[in-house]
A and B are shown apart, each in its own frame.
Chain A
Amino acid sequence: MKHKELERKSIEYRKTILEIIYQSGAGHTGGSLSCIDILNVLYNGVMNITPENFSSFDRDHFIQSKGHSVEALYTVLQDCGFYSQKDLKSLNQFQSHFIGHPTRKVPGIEHNTGALGHGLSVAVGMALGLKMDKKEFRVFTLLGDGELSEGSIWEAATTASKYQLDNLIVIIDRNKLQITGNTEEVNPIEPLADKFSSFGFSISETLGNDISSLMEILQKTPTEKNKPNLIIANTVKGAGVSFIENQIAWHHKVPSETEYNMAMKELDEALLNV
């Protein structure tokens, strides 16, 4: 898929994210907008995951460890054909499977997440299982930067390195904000690259809201033999909507009618400029 087409998709995805959050009255707006370009590139340009091959284990795999940004994931999976728009729009409704954190009841979801710090261990297990069976598929996992304070992340990092899981690709949505404030004020995680490097990872860094940069880095990963991969994707929380960007309040704020209309207008204008 051409970059321009992906850029257009990213804007359309942003519109859908805001629409389903606005209509359902709940959701993690800022984080979904920060990671949507990463998911867009992964599902539409990098990973071998489709509705047709999903029931097989012989394919790539994706675990969204930062489960709270589920609106972004649901939106991309719908566009990839895993379910209908009507299903997607049942988000948060009574008896809907489309709940506020990823659940395997929704087609295309690999693992139930929501409690932070779990996804990397599970991804390590999957990547290890693939290696044991000498299968060439890759395991991608998306972590939030705030969740790096969870000790289990670092437990998993040691095992990824021990078993030389070069089929494991860890992406950090480095938007630098968590619910209380800046990550470096809440509980510093820097120097992030150095930390993961010392844990034995091959490190890359990229612009996480830029389609071309993401495509370039993801298409050349894995980068080193016998080393797990870490990509620090520098993003903006709330990216793509000017008044939502970098605002802590929008961690899980739901737009008012006025805000929703303003955001849609801004995104429609952005579409014209692609």
Chain B
Amino acid sequence: MSDIKIGKPNLEVFAETLLLEAKKNSSITVVTSDSRGSGKLVPFGKELPEQIVEVGIAEQNLVGISAGLAASRKKVFAVSPASFLTARSLEQIKADIAYSNHPVCLVGISAGISYGQLGSTHHSIHDFAVLRCINNLSIVAPSDNFETTEAIKQAVDYQNPLYIRFGKKPMMDIHSQNTSFKIGKAIIAKKGEDVLLIATGETVQRAYLAAQILEQNEIHATVISMHTIKPFDEETFLNEARKAKVIVSVEEHSIYGGLGEQCASLLAQNKINTCFKILGIPDEYMINGSQSDVLDHYNMSPEKISKTVSDLLINK
């Protein structure tokens, strides 16, 4: 297995990148709902106090005010835990951001099961599903520090409503600094002719490590980092899917309505009858544990992902 370099939590990289961008661009305005600490935005608040708005614990208001600030020509980053931002404020996202077409960047922090032990109230394993069916809203889940940096830089100039989610665990560096990142365009993190692993956000590193395990068994995997859930890069996915003997998707999200179901829909509608498995959180009240423990439990450890692939190859 190749050397693994662990970087920072994507959350920290987000806050650092945004501060750098905001120093260059005074229209950048952060709106928080008592979440500047958990969003690593304390330095931002100290250095650029005129560019941060605090609304208290009021996520609906957070999103509505963000729409109004965007109307007044501010480039708004609305930051709140993903679980509350995308459920409590769903109607504001739908009506005030997407329908009214304000190019706010909604930032869902501590997404997925980052708050593993805090229970279902704090998990966002629904956000892809509920946001995917809202017209005029792009959805991004960066995998590593590089993708996070690039996503935030591109978000500054992004002309449409955008949701970005990430977690708070240090992430493995997957991509080199000269990789091309563009919202809406998947990255092929590794090329292999046998199987296809497609993942998004913090599960990309697990898929990547699974591919390294498979490599030891002479199974060569392509790994796609599908950092943009919407608009979905159908072309890259279908091109790779047509070549693969089996396909496995991996996501820190419900098995309903996320990456896996998007892939299944595309496979079926493009007559690709390849053996396919969705790995994600099943439709049950989740087992208690850290993000890492829970993902491992639901077959998303590198070892279990690789075993899923091997089993599919044997039984296909």
Contact = CB atoms under 8 A, between A and B. Distances in A.
B72 A133 contact: yes
Nearest to B66: A125
Interface in A141-193: 151-152, 155-156, 158-159, 163
B69 A129 contact: yes
Interface string B234-247: 00000000000000
Interface string B25-60: 000010000000000000000000010010110101
Contacts of B69: 125-126, 128-129
A114 B60 CA distance: 16
Contacts of A156: 61, 64-65
A111 B67 contact: yes
A112 interface: yes
A128 B60 contact: no
Contacts of A126: 68-69, 71-72
A265 to B, nearest CB: 40
A73 interface: no
Interface of B is mostly: helix
Contacts of A124: 61, 64-65, 68
A125 B95 contact: no
B53 A128 contact: yes
B130 to A, nearest CB: 16
Nearest to B65: A125
A267 interface: no
Contact of B73 (A57, A61, A104, A111): A57
Given A112-B95, A128-B53, A132-B74, A122 B101 contact: no
B18 to A, nearest CB: 17
Given A112-B95, A121-B92, A123-B68, A129 B74 contact: yes
A57 B74 CA distance: 12
Interface residues of B, number: 27
A127 interface: yes
Nearest to A63: B68
Of A122, A127, A130, A156, most buried by chain B (CB within 10 Å of CB) is: A122
A110 interface: yes
Contacts of A125: 64-72
Interface of A is mostly: helix
B180 interface: no
B135 interface: no
A40 to B, nearest CB: 24
A58 B313 CA distance: 64
Contacts of A68: none
Interface in B91-142: 91-92, 95-96, 99-101
B95 A118 contact: yes
A127 B95 contact: no
A216 to B, nearest CB: 28
Nearest to B95: A115
Interface of B: 29, 50, 53, 55-56, 58, 60-61, 63-74, 91-92, 95-96, 99-101
22 contacts: A111-B67, A117-B60, A118-B92, A118-B95, A122-B65, A122-B71, A125-B65, A125-B68, A125-B69, A125-B71, A126-B72, A129-B68, A132-B29, A132-B72, A133-B73, A152-B58, A152-B92, A155-B55, A156-B61, A158-B56, A159-B55, A159-B65
Closest 7 A-B residue pairs measured CB to CB?
A125-B68, A121-B64, A129-B72, A155-B61, A125-B65, A155-B58, A126-B68
Interface of A: 57, 61, 104, 110-115, 117-118, 120-130, 132-133, 151-152, 155-156, 158-159, 163
